Structure 1
Amino acid sequence: MSGGVIALLLIAALVIVAITVMQSAADRERSQALEDWARGRGWRYDRERPEMVGLFRGSPFKDGSSDARVRHVISGEHRGHRFLAYEYSYTSTLTTAQGSLTANERYGVVVVGTRATPILEVRRTHPGYALSAAAGVRDIEVGDQDFDAAFHVAGDDEGFAARTLTPRVREHLLERPSLRSPFRLTGDHLLSWRRGRLGATMALETIEASIDLLELLPDRLREESRD
C-alpha cells in the first residue's frame, strides 16, 4: 500500500473521529437543554429508556426493530393530565432496483393517560395511507362530508367512533389546520406523534394539542383520565 493511500485513509479516519466527537457534544448539549427545560416545569427527564421500545404498537412504531431507541423521555402532569413525551427512532431500509437505501426514522411521541377504550385512529388524509394491522381495525366514515374528506378514520368499534367524534370534536379538528399530528385512542392512552426530533417546542405544542383534544371528548373519557 502506497504512502499516499495510507495518508488518505488516516485523514478519512480523523474526519470520522472528529464528526463523531462533534455529534456526541451536540447530543449532550441537546440532552442538557431538554433536561433543564423539563425540570424547570417540574417534570422528569430521562436521557434514554430502552425498556420502553416495545411499549406501544401501530404507527409510528416498527414491530421487531432491533435498533429502535426511546430517548429524551419527559414525563409529568400538565393541566391535570398525566403525560409522557419522547423521541422514538429506528433505521429503515428500502430495497430498490438500484440497491438499498438506509434512513433513520425519527418521531416525537406524546402520550396522555385515559381509561381503556376501543381503538380509534384519526389522521389527515394523504396518499399512501396504510390501515393499521391490528385485529378488527377497519376504515370508518362518520357521515360528515367535510370531515370524511379531510381525515382518515380507522377503528374496531364504529359506535365508539361515532360517540367520540362528536360535531364539536370534528369542528375543532377541521378548524385547526395546525393540528398535523395523527392521534390514536387505544388501551388506556391518547397517543399523538410527529415526524422529526423531539424538542421543547414540539413537545409542548403536542402535549397542549393532545390535552385540548382530550378535554373536548365525551365527559366519561375526560373524567377517567384524571383518576
Structure 2
Amino acid sequence: MVWFVVAVPLAIVGLLLEPRWVGWFVLVWFLALVGLTLGLRIGENRRRHAWADAAGQLGWRLSASGDELLDRWPFPPFDVDREAEVTEVTSGRHRGREFWTGRFRYKVRRRELGFDFLDLQVDRPLPPLQVLPAQLAPVAAASLLPLPITVDGLSTQYRLFNGREDHALAVLHPRAAEALAGVPEFGFSCEGRRFVAILPAYRDSGTALAQLDAACDLLDLMPEQLWRAGEQWAATRS
C-alpha cells in the first residue's frame, strides 16, 4: 500500500516533467523501500537477540506465544477482539514480583493495532483504571473516549480512558511521577488483581529493563487509598 501511495504520484510527476525518467523514479523508490524494510528487520532482530541475552542472564523464560494470558485481562483494551494474539512472551521474577511481558496484537474495525505489555503480580485488588500517554492512545485505546489529565512533574500529556480521575491522580503522585520521569513514557491498565503496563513496541533491552523497574516502582508507591478502593470495588463484584 505504501509503495503505491508514493509510486503513483512519482509516476505522474515523472510523466509531466520527463517521461523517460518515470521508470527510474519508480525503481529508485522501490529500492529505497526495500532498503528501509531490511533495515527495520535487521534492527528488530538485533533488539530481539539483545533481549534474549538479557533475559537469559537474569534467568527469565522465553516463549513464542502466550495465548493463555488473554484470560487474565477481562478489561479494555484486551477484551475488544476475541482473535487477539499474544507473542514473544518473557516470564520470570523481578524485585519479588512475578511478571509476564510480550506483544499484544488485535483489531478494531479491521484496523490492526498493537503494543507491548508488562503484566505484574499484585497481591491486593485495584479499582478499574486505565491511564495512557497521548502517543499510545491511538494503538492501545482506539475504541475508547479519553479525558485529558495533567500530572505535576511530568511533561507528557496523559489520557484517562477508564476509571476515576481522582484515582488516576492519586496513583501519579509526585514520587511516582519522579520514577516515571526517568524513563520513556508508558501507560497502564488495572482492574482487580491485574496490573498491566502498556508500552511502545520495538524497545531496546535497556529501555525495557528501565521501564520494568519503573512499573515496579509505580506499584511499590501505590497509595493505600487505591488498595482500599480496589478492595471495596472487588467486594461489590463478589
Asked if 1:169 corresponds to 2:185, the answer is no
- CA drift at 1:148: 10
Which residue of the partner structure matches residue 129 of structure 2? Answer: 120
Match of 2:222 in 1: 217
Q: Deviations over 1:133-168 (max 9, x none)?
A: 5xxx984868x6777983223443455445434343
CA gap of 1:202–1:62, structure 2 versus 1, over 3 A, is farther
Q: Which of 65, 71, 80 is the matching residue for 1:48?
A: 65
Q: Deviations over 1:53-107 (max 9, x none)?
A: 45325555462253x321111111111222111112246666xxxxxxx75x342
**1:117, distance to aligned residue in structure 2 (A):** 0.9
> Structure 1: any 5+ residue segments left out of the alignment?
1-21, 95-101, 223-227
Which among 185, 188, 202 is matched to residue 183 of structure 1? 188
Cα displacement (A) at 1:41: 0.6
Which residue is equivalent to 1:87? 103
Q: CA RMSD in A?
A: 4.3
- For 1:206, the equivalent position in structure 2 comes to 211
Alpha-carbon contact 2:129-2:168 (below 8 Å) kept: yes
Sequence identity (%) = 24
Contact kept, 8 Å, 1:155 with 1:161, in 2: the verdict is: no
Letter in 2 for 1:86: G
Distance 1:34 1:50 in 2: 21
One-letter code aligned to 2:130: E
SS in 1 for 2:72: coil
| Offset of residue 220 of structure 1 | 7.8
Contact 1:108–1:203 at 8 Å: present in 2 too?
Answer: no
Q: Decide which structure has greater helix share.
A: 2
| Structure 2 CA distance for partners of 1:196 and 1:159, relative to 1, 3 Å | closer
For structure 2, the residue ranges without an aligned partner over 5 or more in a row are 1-37, 228-238
Aligned residue for 1:109? 117
